[in-house]
Structure 1
């Protein structure tokens, strides 16, 4: 019997210009910048974490923004859509808000035409990352980040789901059920939905089967990996052993400072992560000041001056941007 995840932890994507990335996710989508750090494997690149007020697991989108990065290509072997949860009555507000921000959106996909009775609005970020806002009819009790630009009554509650595009579904479905402990929910044409626990916003993944689609290319405007939740380090260690016993190639446990991580690929090609809920983002700065300063792990701190010299300047929340704080 596999260990079971309780839902999504975060989605990490690749962006282009870091200031443009921050402006979109802070101003247009109204998320909070909960951590400004660097890619631990490439310290000359930012790693920006966006989420709710404290960066709780399940609220997080994170980015490696490489200025000048070549555009990616959506296709099989990657997560092709990241969906965010918004209040059921807010889709109309969001369509107007995104239009006023210069963002082209789809027509609202009505609940009557959706197997899950979810109104959905799709669009792309400035680098072409495919996003969706989903109004889950059962509601979403998670607390939003409240700003002057996106008021709480309409604000994003957190991740809703991700869509994995594959050429064949069987092996991917097996990894989701046997490796992550998800349950099969239903199938709508070539889209299969799986859920963690009772399902609901933040606990869903769709598998889109597109046999004739090309393989995707992970670069700017595409998802790098999808992370699932583990409650603590002992559970994660046991999970790693379980995956190894199944013949899955899994990394060692890596210290990401705000959580611990293991990585592996599902058979369709998408890079997956299991990340711990602990210790969280307030371990190295006060909750009220999250994201305002560049934070480095202890092993990179001796190189701070050199790292800061490599990074482009960012206009972040704080005294100069009180509407984001």
Structure 2
């Protein structure tokens, strides 16, 4: 067999910036876009060479606006790509022209190395080497084939137990210890790819999050070899392995002795061309079949992006983290969505897409947290709401709408709002505190949280309140309906056969109202 790397997987905070860097700047090919195999609502992108060769692949899980991770022992700290030694000057010039900071070139283990960082801060090394030969570099505009990235060169693993980590890579990855420089032991493979094991004793431990490398995948020849490693690991007393059929390859996940996540993946396919032609590789979104989920429930939750030269959403830095989902054939209308407690900016996008198929959807993320759960305002206890926080967040929401109107060209006459539970409560409070802010709103399972009741003039506001007839908070929805009508709003009150959770009937009622 030919030992070496299969792929490296990391986590990104902004998928558009990630695509622009790896496709636009580095010139890699986007070879696969899928929903995550562990979470179908998480976008997973693979980049590689022209034919998606194992050993050329780097992939990213999208945690849009997620918390940053931390580099430390028990994880990889650098990703290295192989280029021809003569191409170092080209990449230094390209980085300077692109405004990307660099370190080097410097010699490491006899090879010229240029260091830079991707948009998430992950260290990328471009290594001039004759050892690794790529079979199919992906040439793009501005990058000649002789300067293009050939394949992965390797990765740097931070370990508190470097000897044990090196031994694990030898026994289970077929790597061999070659030489040592300072605190780094270089492990080599038959493919010429390397893993540098750095002694990180005394470092802080790694923490998962955006800008962190999740795992390094090593190559094994076939399914039999992967299953053989399951038995070999069991002999060593390591039973905590996960074996998966990833459709494009078969693999197992295991923690090496220092805690780093290692994947052992098959080299013999079937490969990424198994379900789409090679010439259009990476253009179709695939949802893992084992979730048995409807495509319409997943696609709106995945962040949209454009390849270099394609249209893309230009996000602005606004008071609320938000997600925009554009319709395939937009009609110029917009639906702003506010999630319930525990949701996020993507939670209501599938619902919104069912209600208004041609609208641009904007989902907001609440800024308050309660035991790690996102909310739109704080509570002191059950049915005890932080009034100052409600007013502050309503003010911030008003500011968001004003700025979003300029940034995204929202037309007030074509913009509607939908809130669920906690999001509906903030939406109702914002209407009371800022009359004229919202003219058309759907409030699902809401209640009045603002005290005392303000003297608002909501004439001209058109509101649909949808209550569940088995919802324990049903009476509160009725009270809010009466309160908004006292303020002059035109309120339609509907009860559906449901509890506090949403139902298909909510979709039908909201669609009819907003139509």
- Tell me the TM-score normalized by structure 2: 0.58
How does 1:117-266 map onto structure 2 within 5 Å?
117-138=110-131, 140-197=133-190, 200=192, 203-266=193-256
CA shift in 2, pair 1:252/1:216, >3 Å: closer
User: Structure 2 matches for 1:293-308, cutoff 5 A?
Assistant: 293-300=284-291, 302-308=293-299
What's the CA shift for 1:273? Answer: 0.3
Q: CA deviation at 1:226?
A: 0.3
- Shift of residue 281 of structure 1? 0.5
Offset of residue 234 of structure 1: 1.4
CA contact (8 A) 1:21 1:65 kept: no
Contact 2:132 2:151 survives alignment (8 Å): no
Residue 78 of structure 2 corresponds to 81
Q: Hey, what's the Cα distance between the residues in 2 that align with 1:269 and 1:319?
A: 41
Distance in 2 separating the partners of 1:196 and 1:17:
33
Q: Which has the higher helix share?
A: 2
User: Offset at 1:186?
Assistant: 0.7
1:292–1:316: 8 Å Cα contact kept in structure 2? no
Structure-1 separation of matches of 2:142 and 2:292: 34
1:19 pairs with 2:9: no
1:268 corresponds to: 258
Instruction: Choose the corresponding residue for 2:57, options 47, 57, 60.
Output: 60
Decide which moves more: 266-275 or 162-171: 162-171
Are the structure 2 counterparts of residues 11 and 139 from structure 1 closer, same or farther at C-alpha, using a change threshold of 3 Å? closer
1:319 deviates by 7.4
How far, CA to CA, are the matches of 1:252 and 1:211 in structure 2? Answer: 28
**Where do 5+ consecutive residues of structure 1 fail to align?**
none
**Runs of 4+ residues deviating >6 angstroms:** 317-321
Q: How many residues align?
A: 311
- Give 1:206 shift: 0.6
SS class of match (1:269): coil
Quick one: higher RCO (CA 8 Å, sep 6+), 1 or 2?
Answer: 1
- State the distance in 1 between where 2:144 and 2:293 align: 40
Distance 2:222 2:249 in 1: 9
Instruction: With the length of structure 1 as denominator, give the TM-score of the two structures.
Output: 0.91
Gaps of at least 5 residues in structure 2 are: 313-515
Bigger mean CA offset, 146-155 vs 310-319? 310-319
